[in-house]
Amino acid sequence: MKLMLSALVKFTVGLVAIGILLFLPAGGFSYPGGWLFLSLLFIPMLIMGIVLLIKSPELLKKRLNGREKESTQKGVLTLSGLIFPAGFIVSALDHRFAWSQIPMWGTVTASLLFLFGYGLYAKVMAENAYLSRTIEVQEGQKVISTGTYGIVRHPMYLATLFMFLPMPIILGSYFGLIPFAFYPLVIVIRILNEEKVLTHELNGYAEYKEKVKYRLIPFIW
């Protein structure tokens, strides 16, 4: 019950906060892109939360914990805390003042990419019971090297690229892409620091890096 209440509070706070960041600068609730984005983000989130609560409450608990101990990761969270609100606000202002004209096919494509990223995110969670929002080595943790982890070392972050980069297009804005263009840089910083921690603290991770060559994008990096 405590876990369920905690999840509901965070879900509600997130929904209200993003709603304010979108509809306030948009000048009202007549913002189709805003409603589309909220639906694409929070309906699957609610479904995944219910599934985790029933089947894997420990994993849900880890996903709710966002308190970083690593100083580098605290900086990453601060940068993310600037990128996302800026991207939402700029996109909403774009809608209000009609700076961009996104064609329907662009909105549909961005929405499909977002949902693909969500699906990949769910698959990664199913493959890795140690998946946490914070950079830490848990008691009894083992290296996962099968499934998506056999293709790239950080499939969860790849999933977030599919999800987050199309967000401004879903919201109907080209200008919103400017703040979100910094997100890949944030991910690179996070990955490099995470691998440093895992190499030193997780048995077998150094060997895993030799086996799976690419961190984020196959054949590129």
Which two structure tokens, joined as six digits, stand for 214?
């690419």
What pLDDT does 2 receive?
80
12: Cβ–Cβ under 8 A, 6 or more apart, which residues?
none
2 phi-psi bin (left φ>0, alpha ψ -120 to 50, beta other): alpha
- The pLDDT score that the predictor gives to residue 62 is 66
| 145 token code pair | 């090297």
* Cβ atoms < 10 Å from Cβ of 9: 11
Find out if CATH 1.20.120.1630 is the number for domain 2-211. Answer: yes
Q: pTM of the entire structure?
A: 0.86
SS3 16: helix
Q: Are 172 and 103 in contact (CB under 8 A)?
A: no
Burial of 94 (0-12, 13-18, 19+ CB in 10 A): buried
* Strand ranges inside the chain, DSSP E: none
Q: What is the pLDDT of residue 137?
A: 59
Contact 185, 192 (CB under 8 A): no
Per-residue pLDDT of the chain (221 residues; tens, 9 = 90+): 787 888 888 889 999 999 999 999 999 999 999 999 999 999 998 888 888 888 877 777 766 665 656 666 677 788 888 999 999 999 999 999 999 999 999 999 999 999 999 999 888 888 887 666 555 555 667 888 888 999 999 999 999 999 999 999 999 999 999 999 999 999 998 899 888 888 888 888 888 898 999 999 988 99
Q: Which residue has the tokens 């070392």?
A: 153
pLDDT of residue 101: 93
Q: Report domain extents, the chain.
A: 2-211
| Closest residue by Cα to residue 126 from 159, 83, 168 | 159
DSSP class of 130: T
Q: Determine the pLDDT at residue 65.
A: 64
User: How confident is the model at residue 68, as a pLDDT?
Assistant: 58
Q: Are 132 and 65 in contact (CB under 8 A)?
A: yes
- Count, residues in the chain: 221
CA 63 – CA 93 distance, rounded (Å): 32
H or E element at residue 116: helix 104-127
Neighbours of 77 (CB within 10 A): 15
